[in-house]
Amino acid sequence: MVASHAVSTLEHRSDIGETDEVLESDDLAGPPPQEQPLFKAGAPRRGGVGSMYALFAPPAVDAVALEERAASLGKRSLKGETKLAGLRLAIAMMDLTTLEGKDTPGKVSQLCQKARTPLSNDPSVGPCAAICVYPNHVVTAKARLAGSTVKVASVATAFPSGQSPLDIKLADTRRAVDFGADEIDMVIDRGAMLVGDFSKVFDEIAATKEACGPAHLKVILETGELGSYDVIRKASELAIAAGADFIKTSTGKIQPAATPPVTLLMLEVIRDHYYASGRRIGMKPAGGVRTAKQALHYLVLVKETLGDAWLTPDLFRFGASALLNDVLMQLEKQRTGNYQAADDFSKD
């Protein structure tokens, strides 16, 4: 209900901004374009004539234009009810994450409680979309979240490096699903991607998707290791073609992680794929999104690139460990006029 209210508020405010590149609400309300083969990506311009380009031959990314557009969208100022709605929506889109060697059942349980009720004195805030843990903690998380709408996501496929044989990666995935994971966050083989072994990357994603069974698959590109926007675009298209339900920027274990230009680029790939196939793919920036101001910037990127239909936890998530408390502080400031101390919010 909170997410729905937030989307509705954002839809009817004009101060987020407008652009000819936005998918209008009418574009997404009707039936999707005719289904196309998933080994194709891209689409002709709206209202024009053109041909789709092959998956592994996308046009070169204009880095200057991409970075300038991402920066310009970061200058949009959200105020009043629009800002309040955006903050609430950001909370509903968070995957609260703990992926440390020192994780314990107690820490995971605390994280689950915070995901269910982010603001203890206001049950109308939240819940968060999911928590993300290692496979060994999935059973604990499922028990603590029973009866709630919060999903349990588990990393798999030799996270964070991806440097294990495929049979081990698939066993890792199946085990997490058997434990009860609703979503799997896998990592691609960045070494294979960088040497041009695209078939290996594709086949591993496709095999992992099959191993997921009913669980949704998020594919982590680890964009900070891919070296260029062109490779990031190619990896995004490949992941989508291989069956990803979401594409995700980063593991959060290296820097740079999520950045506005990289996220904008990946959103544009999702837009192109939707035009080509009618299939909606989700997006998850992870790592480096630490403040409410940054979160609102990312929501503007989504609205301006994909339109209101993607302003939902079903299609956009934040990978977050430090973000939630800053958003809660800003939410309380908007509601009460006073900043709360950081110590007023739990750390886990």
Nearby residues of 337 by Cβ (< 8 Å), 6 or more positions away: none
Angle between helices 292-306 and 260-277 (to 10 degrees): 30
Q: Identify whether 284 is a catalytic site residue.
A: yes
Say whether 248 is catalytic.
Answer: yes
* Residue 110 Ramachandran class (φ > 0 left, ψ -120 to 50 alpha, else beta): alpha
Bridge-based pairing state of the strands 53-54 and 40-41: antiparallel
Sign of the C-alpha dihedral computed for residues 177, 249, 329 and 104 taken in this order = positive
Of 83, 114, 234, 284, the active-site residue reads: 284
Query: How far apart (Å, rounded) are the C-alpha atoms in residues 136 and 138?
Result: 6
CA distances from 13 to 86, 297, 334 (A): 11, 16, 17
Cα torsion angle, 296, 287, 310, 327, sign: negative
* Alpha-carbon gap, residue 229 to 249, rounded angstroms: 12
**Between vectors from CA 6 to CA 124 and to CA 154, what angle results, nearest 5°?**
75
Choosing from 248, 272, 303, 308, the catalytic residue is 248
Among candidate residues 198, 160, 216, 236, the one with its CA nearest the CA of residue 169? 160
| Residue 75 falls in the annotated catalytic set | no
Residue 175 to residue 178: CA distance in whole angstroms: 5
Can you tell me the distance from the alpha carbon of 55 to that of 52, in angstroms, rounded to the nearest whole number?
A: 9
CA atoms of 191 and 186, how far apart (whole Å) = 15
Catalytic residue among 95, 172, 182, 185: 185
Active site residues: 185, 248, 284
